Structure 1
Amino acid sequence: MGFNKYVNLLKRELTPALGCTEPIAVAYASAKAREILGSIPERVEVLVSGNILKNGMGVGIPKTKMTGLDIAAALGLIGGNAEAKLEVLKDIEDKHIEEAVNYLKENRLKVKLKDVKNKLYIEIVCFDGQNESKVIIKDKHTNIVHISLNEDLIYEKKDDEVKECNNCNEQEEKKEEVSLTIDCIYDFSQKVKFEDIKFLLEGAKMNRRVAQEGIEKDYGLRVGKVFYESIGKGIFADSIESYAIAITSAAVDARMDGCIFPVMTTAGSGNQGLTCTLPVVAVAEKLESSEENFARALAISNLITIHIKSYLGRLSALCGCGVAAAIGSSCAITYLLGGDKKAINHSVKNMIAGLSGMICDGAKQGCALKISTSVSSAIQSAVLAINDIEVSCKDGIIHDCVEQTIKNLGNLGIEGMVDTDRVILNMMVCK
């Protein structure tokens, strides 16, 4: 396989987003539906899957100090920029927020749960007089599969097929299939030209900025800020681990509370982007790693996160940030600490043995606590790995083969926790 496929995969799966990707995807869909309608609709129906509802209930919407899919959808309608995709709310001003709040007060927008098999599903239907526009997103946060106006089908996508209607200029590039394994990811990270992956440093810089915002200001539960201020006070040691926990959780604090700065996402999630990037940033800073080694470590972290998420899916009952992204960062940290391919395999197994049961109960302020736990485990697993320690195949879901171990994790998340996901959603809705 040529290295270009890996580079292109990284460029596709790492994208900037302003706000939590589930409500922002709803805002993107509503902005697109309004664009197709050509006016602010008289009323709107927002139909979403359970996992979208779960991840949109408790997370802050940028610039608003508000939470929920309803305000996200209303802002998309009133002032969203559909061309900006996951940065759809970047141009939102106070006047748009006021109009969106009034729109909701007038009871013109309804959010409803739709019984669909897709974990990621968003359907926006806008009504204005005799006109009706519809936009549907499935499986990925910007993957529009249907656009229609009244009886006219403008765009439709089924699986890998793209159908164009009525001179629609929507185009979908055919994606290269990329088969990943831990070993081939490591080989790529060591052999690829530094210049080809140097762009990863910009994403790390973007995410580090959000971490600094979380340290300097009071966001959410202030997990990262409090941890950071506790370093060296006899509570937390002035160590790589403490520093990594502090800056990563500070960034999550800020993002979950509606920070106005964008983050670089990985595999459809901003928290995944933060978790597979910032612990690596912390270790690279403390070790004074070269830019090249840092970029190679980021390639490992991001690609392994993408690899694991390909088994877990975009949304799941398992915490993608705390599990998949933390495994990626642990492998990158193993590399920065001098570990080789064998050690990275050890790190994957150690992380899955320790964190495989961490559930996802929605995007919210408490995510900073889960991620602080995951970052700690990431560093511990890396330290064990470079000392040639790995969890035995006699333990639980761990297999001799690291790839089968990852598949086992995926089966646990997709098949084994179907009822768990349903029970979690019921608990959240009943509150």
Structure 2
Amino acid sequence: MEKDKILALIEKELVIVFGCTEPVAIALAAATAKSYVRGEIEELIVKASGNIIKNAKSVGIPGMSGKGLEFSAAIGAVAGNPKRKLELLDGLTKSDENRAFDLIEAGIVLASQADTAKLLYIEVIIRTNTQSSRVIISDNHTNITLIEVDGKLIMHGGCENSSNLSAENNLVDLTIDEIYEWILQVDINKLLLVKKSVELNKAIGMEGLSGNYGLNVGRTIKENVEKGILSNDIGTAAMSLAAAGSDARMAGSTLPVIANTGSGNQGIAVTLPVVAVAEKLQVSEEKMIRAVALSHLVTIHIKSKFGRLSALCGVTTAGMGASAAIVYLLDGTLQQVKAAVQNTIGNVSGMICDGAKAGCAMKVSTCSNVAVQSALLALSDQEIQSTDGFIHNDVEKTIEAFCTLGNEGTRQTDEWILKLMMEK
């Protein structure tokens, strides 16, 4: 693997996100559609795939009291700047929020499930008193594949690809062996984006520990450590900081995060358990940054096969990356790194995704704890054997099996999760 291709992969998949990526992507589609038409909005229609609906239904939007598909589309249409992509909701005001509510209250914002096989699909149609526009985002949260104005095709393209990686971007399949070798030799000065992911994501983790957000999972763990009910070890440190970041983000904190493969929660769960363990062990900053880079890349590698959205929780893949990084922090071998990933897959592979919400912080906490546990087992040369479940002797084949489960084996599960959510 050429060095520049791995760096390009990091630059592609580590992006600053302001708010949960699904509602932000809806707002981006709406803002883009509005940018092509003049006049007052008379009708705003948003159609989305079931997985988008799951993640946009209940999650908080930074600085806003509104939530859901209708609000995400409305706020994007009235105040979003499409040039800012996944940061377009940063800096919005109460006046902007009120304008979005006005559209909804007027009954002109309509949301429904799209008839599509795509897991990530958003279609927005805007009609004004003089014009109309239609925008489609698919496969990737910023991947605009169609723009129509007054029924005329303005743009048709984007990356029509069910995977989050593509040959068009000159990205190639990685292996954990290649990633590990690259981490050992890469110039630390080339990992500035990884360092920034540590800085931004730790800031929201500290915000969650000090504030009152969602279920306060991270803060509650910290408080119980202080009471002596929980031990002050690397496991609780990893759980507390990572869960606190998710607490704040899911509840609408106005702090940005650096996402991993399109998910801010994955970005948090990739970085913060590793940061917490590194700080507990008092390793050098360089070693911590290399470890976080390893966590990012292992997760990107798995997500390239797993896809952006699934019936299974994507934070589990972040736990797999974090487990590898924790082994690295504790001076483990390449074989132990791979064993930690195997152990994590064998533990949390069945965790379902029932949408973005406050409760995601509990899943982040669980996966962070599993990452530590899996790493410690691996360091003691304990690894789930190929006689157990769908685990293979080769970690790459185990990853393939896990991703097949997420992509092919849970389609009916996905339908039932959405059905149960919508029936409430």
TM-score normalised by L of structure 2: 0.97
Structural mapping, 1:113-132, within 5 Å: 113-132=113-132
Q: Which residue number in structure 1 is paired with residue 393 of structure 2? A: 400
Partner deviation per Cα, 1:353-390 (whole Å, 9 max, x = no partner): 11110000000010111111111110000001111111
Shift of 1:152: 2.3
Shift of 1:66: 2.7
Kept after mapping to 2: 8 A contact 1:316/1:360: yes
Q: Which residue number in structure 2 is paired with residue 167 of structure 1? A: none
The counterpart of 2:283, out of the listed 289, 312, 315, is 289
Structure 1: 4+ residue segments shifted above 6 A: none
Q: Which residue number in structure 1 is paired with residue 197 of structure 2? A: 203
Q: Which residue number in structure 1 is paired with residue 359 of structure 2? A: 366
Shift of 1:160: 6.3
Shift of 1:177: 2.0
Q: Which residue number in structure 1 is paired with residue 156 of structure 2? A: 156
Q: Distance in 2 between matches of 1:229 and 1:128?
A: 53
Q: Any idea what SS the aligned residue of 1:148 has?
A: strand
Structural mapping, 1:19-418, within 5 Å: 19-157=19-157, 159=159, 174-321=168-315, 323-418=316-411
Kept after mapping to 2: 8 A contact 1:79/1:91: no
Q: Distance in 1 between matches of 2:283 and 2:409?
A: 41
Kept after mapping to 2: 8 A contact 1:40/1:77: no
Shift of 1:230: 1.3
1:182 partner amino acid: I
Q: Any idea what SS the aligned residue of 2:260 has?
A: coil
Q: Which residue number in structure 2 is paired with residue 18 of structure 1? A: 18
| Pair 1:219–1:159, CA change in 2 (3 A) | closer
Shift of 1:112: 0.8
Shift of 1:234: 2.2
| Pair 1:29–1:40, CA change in 2 (3 A) | farther
Q: Which residue number in structure 2 is paired with residue 166 of structure 1? A: none
Q: Distance in 2 between matches of 1:268 and 1:96?
A: 26
Kept after mapping to 2: 8 A contact 1:81/1:91: no
Kept after mapping to 2: 8 A contact 1:56/1:69: yes
Q: Any idea what SS the aligned residue of 2:376 has?
A: helix
How many residues get paired? 420
Q: Distance in 2 between matches of 1:173 and 1:343?
A: 31
Shift of 1:158: 6.2
Q: Which residue number in structure 2 is paired with residue 165 of structure 1? A: none
Kept after mapping to 2: 8 A contact 1:21/1:141: yes
Taking only the aligned residue pairs, the percentage that are identical comes to 42
Partner deviation per Cα, 1:272-304 (whole Å, 9 max, x = no partner): 000000001101111122122112111110111
1:133 partner amino acid: S
Q: Distance in 2 between matches of 1:254 and 1:277?
A: 15
1:89 partner amino acid: L
Shift of 1:188: 0.9
Kept after mapping to 2: 8 A contact 1:60/1:67: yes
1:80 partner amino acid: G
RMSD across aligned C-alpha pairs, in angstroms?
1.5
| Pair 1:365–1:404, CA change in 2 (3 A) | same
Moved more, 146-155 or 367-376: 146-155
